[in-house]
Structure formats: structure tokens, C-alpha cells
């Protein structure tokens, strides 16, 4: 592969068929960190005509409060179905409830569209890296929030400091719901005392406190103790608004719901929602550091963890293994971690250091299933995903599956259920027959039903395909076989050649 | 908390299947005596909910809302969760057992270290790049092809192990062996060997296999029942990590997960047919859960748990346990059920039974612990 495409494979999503190839690839890559990021997509797919790429309509990108209210309405309607109320009885009523109030399928499609049509390919790759590092997988209750977290907490902070992103992700409803923090109450909180007196139950749950230390920051190498996890969980107690219904057996109006939410947390903003009654009074200790009572302690904790030497080393390795090499060298790691320290965790500078090492390293870098699919779609100009109108209306398309189904079949996606540790960047985790078979099948499906605009020879010339790839494509006959062979070549998958 | 219907639930359950250890035709003279299947319970299965020790007076003191009222009595001390309808029948037929207060010797309560250790079977997390079952299959000289979407660490180590998870991709047609072979040839060793497996599989005509856990188990059982079929299979069930609203009965979050395990065991039994008699199935989980209920109607990460064993290789059902007690002073760090039986010994006994390997060899080469206690007679006598 020529240098431009080699870099756009490792760090980006491959240049679109009509996009100009920059002369200075390194300068381009660094500038990409600040490129504009509109949510580009298509309304409908038409087989033989290239669909027009435009920005996603605002109406399909509700704000956070609206998303909270939609999920509440969805659950409130479910209760109406349970009671068999008029207008809440038929299958059509059910599917309308889903279409009107659940965002996950549209959000997953918007993510795919961005990655397939976006000109901001490096920003999107870094955004996916962090979305995976801070994975909030779909447990249904946070289905309306995952997309918002990726767009606003992660992509919205991609030019910020790591400490800022860490705080914004930790306090985002997608995370607070996913790791069960919304009900957690300090053992000596007003809520816990009240519960004890009334024969109810309330208390701490350490899920988010544990993963904040283990996965998001210092990692087990820091040798923290169970008491540290408990300290972090106590600082986190009180954070998060309850998703869904909040009125027990009663059906209530939206304004009543909003009044109650505001009463409990002082605001309708679920991204800055702290329930004083659930907070643990007094000081807390985490890894030798003491934190005072109150809402402000969490920011102090995340700032402390963000700067920690174990955090820097932990995440440096993950960045290097994702972008630079399957086996990053000590030089790669030293460079990135040094820049991290010197810049006090400035993400632009950290990402620039990653770009520099990815360019300097000639190692192949195995591409995740989802990034491979986006890259193949971009290289070939094929249609890989539905338009937003088709997804929203659940229209059948004989060539293209629903977005959720595509990610399920790929075996990777941010809207699938899963564990908070995210997907591995180590290629050893992906070397499976079924995973490889999926690549052959997706390449076949894109050729058969995606109407690629670019022929294999064009693509090979444009990327400067290597000898192995050309021989492989030359050794099979027929347009479909040549297409599949190219897309499953070691070069396009990011593996070594024979 | 979300209340999924059972059908939605099964669709979302994310169980995945792996089959392993298919002997190459004509390769093995002495066929291993049996088959071994593992059900991996990801997230930390609560042994005190699955097999409640109702005879321990501290159980109801420590957890108010987590123990099902309608448990089945196994003996005067242990009960069985109502989700285990099928499994209870196997217990009655002397084809199943329970091991309680057991796990791997890992007490640091991290999912990811724990999962790595329960599959890798090494002496510390992330120390091994192969799995205990993969190494055992390799020792038994049963290279082969196997059949979820990813390849679990548990099975890595025997070169020919493969996975199986039926694809359903619109417009992807049938695969041509020649094309796959050409692609395989262009790849270096690691990529090439994987495409080779795809190529071999493309020549086999698998009927359409549904992806729900019970169907996968039935499929695995059928494949293992065939002459020269795989000797081993692995099915993963996720979402046992119930920190909030865990529930008690078969409709609770944990209870629904346990019902999937029950369905899987039933699926195996049906698929295995006559091969059931020489089969052993065991569960595996990274840790049990805290004895005391937490503040959000759930439980946090613990240590000791319960394990289910099923299969015709068992001829005498029992609850195998050296009960450590549930009083706070009896718990590990005042919070977790102590593991009094090293689960590696249970795994070793199952390997010994199914693959005919000597215990000392398994202890040394599979678990790197030459002095690992042998518990075979407690399970299989």
C-alpha cells in the first residue's frame, strides 16, 4: 500500500473514492484531529443511483433531556400495555411505541453513517477507540444514551484533556445506568437511614467504582485494595438519575415526572445529576488520597486518577496496540507516555504522539471487524447500510440488513450487550474461523447487493496494492471473487503477507 | 430494571458455542473414553442463589430478597433454584451433581482477571496464552477441528480447534472452497491457518441451526455423538453480573440466566443421545457473589460459588461440599463465601474422566500445579 493509504488504514477509515489524497500525510493526519465533524449520512438507499450524502436531520438527534423523556414514555406506555388500555393493545401500537421512543437503532446507524461517509476519519477512529475504552454496552435501560455518550462525552471532548473526558464519561447517564450507579446510596446517607427505619433497603453498590479503577484508569497493576474501591463507590454514591418509570403503580404525566426528577436531583439535566440524599457524608479515601464530602469530590477523584502514572502506562499501551502495532515497541510506548506526562494529558498532543508512532512503525495493524467493514465500504463506494428513513420506518430492503443485525453478524458493535472491558485490539482475540468467514460473507454481500462504484483494479491502483494482493486477485476469476479476494487479502485486513 | 420477556431475553442472551477436539480420521487408535463440555457463566454466577444452603441460619440474615421461596430441597441443607427444572430431573436420575463453595484460587474480584484465569488455568491472570481445555485436548492427542463467533481462551492451545456460530448475512451466498483456499495461500501462517478452517467447513453441509443457546447445545451434542466427532464443546452465557435488582425466583435477572443454563443442559442431553452415557458437562464462572445483599437489591463480586456437573459419566448424584459457613467471621475478608474446593481439581477430574489422561499429568501440564488434589472419586465413583 502506498504511504497515504497505509496511514489512512492504520489511523483512519481509508480515503473515499472522490476525496483528494494529501501530499503531506503526516501533516494531514495531525490536522484531521481538528477537522469538522458533521453527522453525515443518507436518507434512502437506491440501488443504482449514488445516494446523496447530507447531514442527519436535527429531528433524529434529540437532546439528552428529550432522550430521557422518551425512555420514560416508552416504559410508561409499556405499563399501559400491561393494563390493556385503549391505544395500547395491538402489535402496531407496540411497534409505534418503539419507533417513537427508542433511539438505539437510529443511533447505531448514525454511527455507521459517520464512519462510512465522514471526512473526519481520524477523529472518528480516535472516538471509537475511546468509546471502546469507556464502553457502555447495551443493557436496554441505557439504550437511548449510548449514542449520546459517544457523540457528546467522547467525540465532543476529543480535543480536550483526558481528565475532562474521564469526568464527562463517568458522570454520563449511559455509564451511570450501565454500571448500576443510579440506585447506589452511601451506607450512612439519608436514603439509607430512612430505608433502615422503614424496613426498606438502600445502600452501596461498587460496580462503577471498581471499573473506574480497573478499566478506565489505573488498572490492577496499581495494586489498589478493596477499601479503595469502596472509597470510590462512596464518592460515586448519589450520581445518576433513575431511568424509566419513577412512580411505582401510578401512571403520571410528563410534567409530573419532570417535577419529581427535579425534586430528587435538583435539575432535569441527567448529565449533572447528584442526589444529595444518596450521598455518603464525610471524607473518603482512595489510594492514599482523602476526598471531602459533596458533589465536587468526584471531579477531584477523576482528576487524581487521570494523572496517575499507572493510568498513563495502562492507556498508553492500549493506544499503541490499537493504532501502532499488534506488538508495540518500548520506543512507541515511551514516546506516547512521555508526551502524555509533558502535556498533562492533553488529548491533541497524545493523539499526535500516537500518529507519529503509527507512521514511524512499519508494522501491519490488524483491523477490527467494524473498522474493516467501514474501510471496505469506503474503498469500494458500495452501499453498506440503510438510509435513516428506511431504518426509522423499518422498511424492508432486499439488499441491506437492519443496522443492528449487521453489527450482530460482525460480532462487534457498541449497541450490542457486552462487558465493560470493551473489545480487544490484540489480533489473537480475533483469529477465529467464524470471524474470518464473516469477512468473506460481508465482502460477498457488498458486491452482490451494495453496487460498488469502484472496480478492483481501480482500487488496487489507487491504494498501491502490493504484489501478494495483486497475485491473489489475479489468481481468481470473476468480478465477485476478485472483489472478495481483495477485501480479504492480508493487506486490507491489516495482517502480514504470506 | 428492564423486564424482558423470555423470548426477547433468549434473543439477547448472547450465548455462543464452541466445539473442539475433533480427532483426525485414522489418527487416534485409542479413542478417548468420553466427551467434555463446558458452560462458561460470564459475570460471576451467584452460587447462593443457584444452590441456596437453606440449612445455614445465616443465609436469610445476610440476604433478604435473593433467595427463592420455591427452591427444591436437595437434602436437609442445600436447595436448588426453581429455574433448574431439567437439571433437577437429572439429579433424581443420578446423572448430575453439585459442587458448592468452590472456585479457582483467585480472590481479587476482577471480572477480567478472573475470566482470564478460569479459562487460562494458569498460576496468575494473563500468564497463559492457551487455555486449560485446549492444553488437555492437545495432551490427549486429539487434534481436530472444532466449531460462537470468537475463539475463547479456554480452547486455545490445540492447534486445530475451531469455532462454530451459524452466520445469517443477506446476499452472502455460498462460499467457494477454491476462493477461500486462494485467500488462505496469500496469508502468512496465522491468517492462513484460520482461513483453512473456513475452507474445510465450507465443504460440510450444516443444516440451518438456530442460534438460541438450547439449539446450539443440541447441535454440539449431536456433533459430539458422531464417530470421530469433536470431543469437547464450550458454550458461553453472559450477564450474570447482577449488581442491582438481582431477583430471587425464576423471573428474576439471575433466575432467567439460570434457566438458560438449564435449557443448555437439556439441549446437550437431547443432542448427545446415546453418547450421553460417556459425557460430562461442567459450569465455570470467574467468581461467586457477595454473601450479603448490597444496597441496590443485588450482589457484588465475591469468591466461592457453586458448580453444576451433568452427564451420564456421573452415576451417583450428590452435593459435594466442605461447607465453610456464612457467618461474617467465616467469610473471606468478611464478605465472600470461601472456596474450600479448588475448582481446578474438579476440572482435572472431568478431563481425567473424558479424555483418559492421568491426574498427575493433568496437574502438571494442564494446571502447572503438580500437587493439585485429586477429587475424582468424589465425583465419579
In a domain, residue A284? The reply is: no
Q: Can you tell me which residue has the cell 447500510? A: A385
Question: Is the predicted ipTM greater than 0.95, yes or no?
Answer: no
In whole angstroms, how large is the CA radius of gyration of chain B? Answer: 20
In a domain, residue A239? The reply is: no
| Over residues B188-193, mean pLDDT | 91
Which domains can be identified in chain B, with CATH numbers?
6-167+186-380 (3.40.720)
Q: What is the pLDDT of residue B205?
A: 61
Pairing of strands B279-285, B72-73: unpaired
Share of residues in chain A with pLDDT > 90 (%): 94
Collect all residues with Cβ–Cβ distance below 8 Å to B29 and sequence separation of at least 6.
none
| Over residues A139-155, mean pLDDT | 96
| Over residues B246-257, mean pLDDT | 94
pLDDT in tens, A408-429: 999 999 999 999 999 999 998 9
For residue B46, report the phi and psi dihedrals to the nearest 5 degrees: -85, 100
* Pure H helices in B23-176: 47-50, 59-62, 85-92, 111-120, 132-139
CA distances for A426 relative to A124, A332, A414, B133, angstroms: 20, 16, 18, 21
| Over residues B110-125, mean pLDDT | 94
Q: What is the pLDDT of residue B27?
A: 35
Statement: residue B146 has pLDDT above 80? no
Contact (CB<8Å) B167/A437: yes
Residue B141's nearest CA partner among B18, B227, B22, B47 is B22
Cell of A289: 488520597
Contact (CB<8Å) A434/B163: yes
Judged by average pLDDT, the poorest of A184-198, B41-55, B129-143 is B129-143
CA distances for B199 relative to A38, B145, B174, B177, angstroms: 42, 12, 12, 5
Q: What is the pLDDT of residue B206?
A: 63
Residues A359 and A220: their CA atoms lie apart, in Å, by 31
Split into its structural domains, chain A has a count of 1
Q: How confident is the model at residue B18 (pLDDT cuts 50, 70, 90)?
A: low
State the CB neighbour count (10 A cutoff) for residue A424. 15
Q: What is the pLDDT of residue B159?
A: 64
Helix axes A433-449, A403-410, angle to 10 degrees: 140
Q: Is residue A295 a contact partner of residue A204, using CB atoms and an 8 Å limit? A: no
Q: How confident is the model at residue A144 (pLDDT cuts 50, 70, 90)?
A: very high
Nearest to A498 among B43, B172, B192 (CB): B192
Statement: residue B1 has pLDDT above 50? no
Q: What is the pLDDT of residue B65?
A: 86
In a domain, residue A261? The reply is: no
Statement: residue A229 has pLDDT above 80? yes
Q: Which helix (H) or strand (E) holds B320?
A: strand B319-321
In a domain, residue A298? The reply is: no
Q: What is the pLDDT of residue B151?
A: 83
Residues of A in contact with B201 (CB under 8 A): 433, 437
Best of A222, A421, A432 to mutate (most B CBs within 10 Å, chain B): A432
Q: What is the pLDDT of residue B381?
A: 86
Cell of A161: 484533556
Share of residues in chain A with pLDDT > 70 (%): 100
Q: What is the pLDDT of residue B78?
A: 94
A-B contacts (CB, under 8 Å): 200
In a domain, residue A82? The reply is: no
Nearest to B170 among A141, A214, A449 (CB): A449
Contact (CB<8Å) B201/A437: yes
Contact (CB<8Å) A141/B1: yes
Nearest to B243 among A205, A226, A484 (CB): A205
pLDDT in tens, A107-141: 999 999 999 999 999 999 999 999 999 999 998 89
Contact (CB<8Å) B186/A497: yes
| Domain range enclosing A386 | 3-26+45-53+365-493
Q: Is residue B125 a contact partner of residue B347, using CB atoms and an 8 Å limit? A: no
Residues of A in contact with B109 (CB under 8 A): 210, 226
Statement: residue B14 has pLDDT above 80? no
> Which residue of chain A has the CA closest to B295?
A203
Contact (CB<8Å) B167/A442: no
Share of residues in chain B with pLDDT > 70 (%): 88
Nearest to B111 among A202, A226, A419 (CB): A419
In a domain, residue A399? The reply is: yes
- Mean pLDDT, rounded, of chain A: 96
pLDDT in tens, A12-63: 999 999 899 999 999 999 999 999 999 999 999 977 778 899 999 999 999 9
- Mean pLDDT, rounded, of chain B: 87
| Over residues A294-317, mean pLDDT | 98
Residues A265 and A35: their CA atoms lie apart, in Å, by 37
For residue B279, report the phi and psi dihedrals to the nearest 5 degrees: -115, 150
| Over residues B32-42, mean pLDDT | 92
Q: Is residue B60 a contact partner of residue B327, using CB atoms and an 8 Å limit? A: no
pLDDT in tens, A268-280: 999 999 999 999 9
Give the distance from CA A165 to its chain's centroid. 13
Contact (CB<8Å) A436/B195: yes
pLDDT in tens, B329-357: 999 999 999 999 999 999 999 999 999 99
> Which residue of chain A has the CA closest to B186?
A498
Q: How confident is the model at residue B207 (pLDDT cuts 50, 70, 90)?
A: low
Residues B124 and B114: their CA atoms lie apart, in Å, by 9
Nearest to A441 among B172, B192, B239 (CB): B172
In a domain, residue A225? The reply is: no
3-state secondary structure chain A: CCHHHHHHHHCCCCCCCCCCCCCCHHHHHHHHCCCCCCCEECCCCCCCCCCCCEECCHHHCCCHHHHHHHHHHHHHHHHHHHCCCCCCCCHHHHHHHHHHHCCHHHHHHHHHHHHHHCCCHHHHHHHHHHHHHCCCCCCCCCCCCHHHHHHHHHHHHCCCEHHHHHHHHHCCHHHHHHCCCCCCCCCCCHHHHHHHHCCCCCCCCCHHHHHHHHHHCCCHHHCCCHHHHHHHHHHHCCECCCCCCCCCCCCCCHHHHHHHHHHHHCCCCCCCCECHHHCCCCCEEECCEEECCCCCHHHHHHHHHHHCHHHHHHHHHHHHHHHCCCCCCHHHHHHHHHHHHHCCCEHHHHHHHHHHHHHHCCCCCCCCHHHHHHHHHHHHCCCCCCCHHHHHHCCCCCCCCCHHHHHHHHCCCCCCCCCCCCCCCCHHHHCCHHHHHHHHHHHHHHHHHCCCCCCHHHHHHHHCCCHHHHHHHHCCCCHHHHHHHHHCCHHHHCCCEC
Q: What is the pLDDT of residue A51?
A: 87
Residues A25 and A164: their CA atoms lie apart, in Å, by 29
3-state SS assignment for residue B310: strand
In a domain, residue A157? The reply is: no
Residue A177's nearest CA partner among A214, A215, A149 is A149
B7 exposed, middle or buried (CB, 10 Å; 0-12, 13-18, 19+)?
exposed
Best of A240, A433, A478, A493 to mutate (most B CBs within 10 Å, chain B): A433
Amino acid at each position: 500500500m502506498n504511504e497515504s493509504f497505509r496511514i489512512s488504514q492504520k489511523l483512519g477509515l481509508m480515503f473515499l473514492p472522490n476525496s483528494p489524497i494529501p501530499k503531506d500525510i503526516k501533516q494531514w493526519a495531525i490536522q484531521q484531529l481538528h477537522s469538522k465533524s458533521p453527522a453525515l449520512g443518507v436518507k434512502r438507499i437506491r440501488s443504482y443511483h449514488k445516494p446523496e450524502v447530507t447531514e442527519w436531520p436535527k429531528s433524529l438527534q434529540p437532546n439528552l433531556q428529550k432522550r430521557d423523556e422518551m425512555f420514560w414514555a416508552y416504559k410508561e406506555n409499556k405499563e399501559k400495555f400491561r393494563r390493556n388500555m385503549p391505544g395500547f393493545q395491538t402489535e402496531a401500537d407496540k411497534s409505534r411505541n418503539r419507533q417513537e421512543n427508542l433511539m438505539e437503532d437510529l443511533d447505531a446507524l448514525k454511527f455507521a453513517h459517520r464512519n462510512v461517509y465522514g471526512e473526519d476519519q481520524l477523529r472518528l477512529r480516535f472516538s471509537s477507540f475511546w468509546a471502546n475504552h469507556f464502553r457502555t454496552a447495551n443493557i436496554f435501560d441505557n439504550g437511548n444514551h449510548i449514542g449520546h455518550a459517544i457523540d457528546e462525552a467522547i467525540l465532543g471532548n476529543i480535543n480536550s484533556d483526558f481528565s475532562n473526558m474521564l469526568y464527562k464519561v463517568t458522570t454520563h447517564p449511559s455509564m451511570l445506568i450501565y454500571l448500576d450507579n443510579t440506585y447506589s446510596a452511601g451506607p450512612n446517607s439519608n436514603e439509607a437511614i430512612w430505608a433502615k427505619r422503614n424496613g426498606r433497603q438502600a445502600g452501596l453498590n461498587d460496580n462503577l467504582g471498581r471499573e473506574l479503577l480497573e478499566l478506565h484508569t489505573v488498572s490492577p497493576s496499581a495494586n489498589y485494595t478493596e477499601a479503595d474501591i469502596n472509597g470510590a463507590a462512596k464518592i460515586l454514591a448519589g450520581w445518576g438519575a433513575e431511568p424509566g418509570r419513577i412512580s411505582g403503580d401510578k401512571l403520571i404525566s410528563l410534567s409530573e415526572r419532570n417535577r419529581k426528577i427535579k425534586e430528587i436531583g435538583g435539575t432535569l439535566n441527567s448529565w449533572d445529576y447528584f442526589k444529595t440524599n444518596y450521598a455518603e457524608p464525610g471524607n473518603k479515601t482512595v489510594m492514599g488520597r482523602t476526598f471531602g464530602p459533596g458533589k465536587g469530590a468526584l471531579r477531584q477523584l477523576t482528576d487524581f486518577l487521570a494523572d496517575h502514572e499507572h493510568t498513563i502506562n495502562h492507556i498508553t499501551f492500549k493506544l499503541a496496540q490499537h493504532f501502532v502495532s499488534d506488538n508495540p515497541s518500548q520506543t512507541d510506548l515511551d514516546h506516547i507516555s512521555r508526551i502524555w506526562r509533558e502535556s498533562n494529558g492533553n488529548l491533541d498532543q497524545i493523539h499526535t504522539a500516537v500518529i507519529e508512532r503509527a507512521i514511524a512503525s512499519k508494522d501491519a495493524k490488524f483491523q477490527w471487524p467494524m473498522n474493516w467493514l467501514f474501510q471496505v465500504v469506503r474503498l469500494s463506494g458500495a452501499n453498506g447500510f440503510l438510509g435513516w428513513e428506511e431504518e426509522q420506518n423499518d422498511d424492508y430492503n432486499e439488499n441491506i440488513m437492519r443496522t443492528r443485525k449487521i453489527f450482530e453478524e460482525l460480532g462487534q458493535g457498541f449497541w450490542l450487550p457486552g462487558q465493560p472491558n470493551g473489545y480487544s485490539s490484540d489480533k489473537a482475540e480475533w483469529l477465529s474461523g467464524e470471524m474470518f468467514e464473516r469477512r468473506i460473507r460481508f465482502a460477498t454481500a457488498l458486491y452482490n447487493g451494495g453496487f460498488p462504484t469502484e472496480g478492483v483494479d481501480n482500487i488496487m491502483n489507487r491504494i498501491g496494492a502490493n504484489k501478494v494482493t495483486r497475485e491473489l486477485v489475479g489468481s481468481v476469476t470473476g468480478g465477485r471473487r476478485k472483489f472478495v479476494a481483495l477485501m480479504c487479502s492480508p493487506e486490507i485486513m491489516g495482517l502480514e503477507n504470506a | 430494571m428492564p423486564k424482558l420477556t423470555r423470548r426477547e431475553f433468549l434473543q439477547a442472551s448472547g450465548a455462543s458455542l464452541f466445539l473442539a477436539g475433533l480427532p483426525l480420521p485414522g489418527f487416534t487408535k485409542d479413542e478417548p473414553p468420553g466427551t467434555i463440555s463446558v458452560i462458561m457463566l460470564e459475570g460471576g454466577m451467584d452460587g447462593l442463589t443457584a444452590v441456596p444452603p437453606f440449612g445455614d441460619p445465616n443465609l436469610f440474615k445476610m440476604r433478604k430478597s435473593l433467595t427463592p421461596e420455591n427452591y427444591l430441597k436437595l437434602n436437609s441443607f442445600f436447595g436448588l433454584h426453581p429455574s433448574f427444572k431439567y437439571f433437577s430431573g437429572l439429579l433424581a436420575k443420578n446423572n448430575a451433581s453439585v459442587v458448592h463453595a468452590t472456585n479457582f484460587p483467585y480472590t481479587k474480584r476482577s471480572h477480567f482477571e478472573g475470566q482470564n484465569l478460569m479459562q487460562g488455568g494458569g498460576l496468575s491472570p494473563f500468564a497463559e496464552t492457551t487455555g486449560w481445555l485446549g492444553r488437555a485436548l492437545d495432551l490427549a492427542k486429539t487434534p481436530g477441528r472444532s466449531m460462537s463467533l470468537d475463539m475463547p481462551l479456554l480452547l486455545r492451545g490445540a492447534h486445530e480447534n475451531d469455532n462454530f456460530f451459524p452466520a445469517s448475512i443477506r446476499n452472502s451466498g455460498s462460499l467457494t472452497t477454491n476462493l477461500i483456499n486462494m485467500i488462505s495461500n496469500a496469508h502468512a501462517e496465522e491468517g492462513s491457518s484460520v482461513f483453512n478452517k473456513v475452507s474445510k467447513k465450507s465443504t460440510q453441509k450444516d443444516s440451518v441451526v438456530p442460534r438460541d443457546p438450547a439449539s446450539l447445545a443440541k447441535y454440539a451434542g449431536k456433533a459430539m455423538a458422531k464417530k470421530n466427532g469433536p470431543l469437547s464443546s464450550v458454550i458461553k452465557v453472559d450477564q450474570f453480573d447482577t449488581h442491582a435488582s438481582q431477583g430471587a425466583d425464576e423471573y428474576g435477572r439471575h433466575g432467567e440466566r439460570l434457566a438458560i443454563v438449564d435449557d443448555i443442559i437439556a439441549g446437550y442431553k437431547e443432542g448427545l443421545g446415546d453418547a450421553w452415557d460417556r459425557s460430562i458437562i461442567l459450569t465455570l464462572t470467574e467468581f461467586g457473589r457477595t454473601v450479603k445483599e448490597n444496597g441496590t437489591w443485588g450482589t457484588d463480586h465475591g469468591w466461592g460459588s457453586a458448580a453444576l456437573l451433568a452427564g451420564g459419566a456421573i452415576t451417583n448424584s450428590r452435593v459435594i461440599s466442605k461447607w465453610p459457613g456464612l457467618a461474617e467471621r467465616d467469610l473471606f475478608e468478611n464478605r465472600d463465601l470461601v472456596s474450600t474446593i479448588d475448582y481446578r481439581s474438579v476440572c482435572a477430574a472431568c478431563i481425567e474422566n473424558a479424555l483418559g489422561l492421568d491426574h498427575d499429568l493433568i496437574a502438571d501440564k494442564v494446571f502447572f500445579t503438580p500437587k493439585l488434589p485429586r477429587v475424582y472419586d468424589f465425583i465419579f465413583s
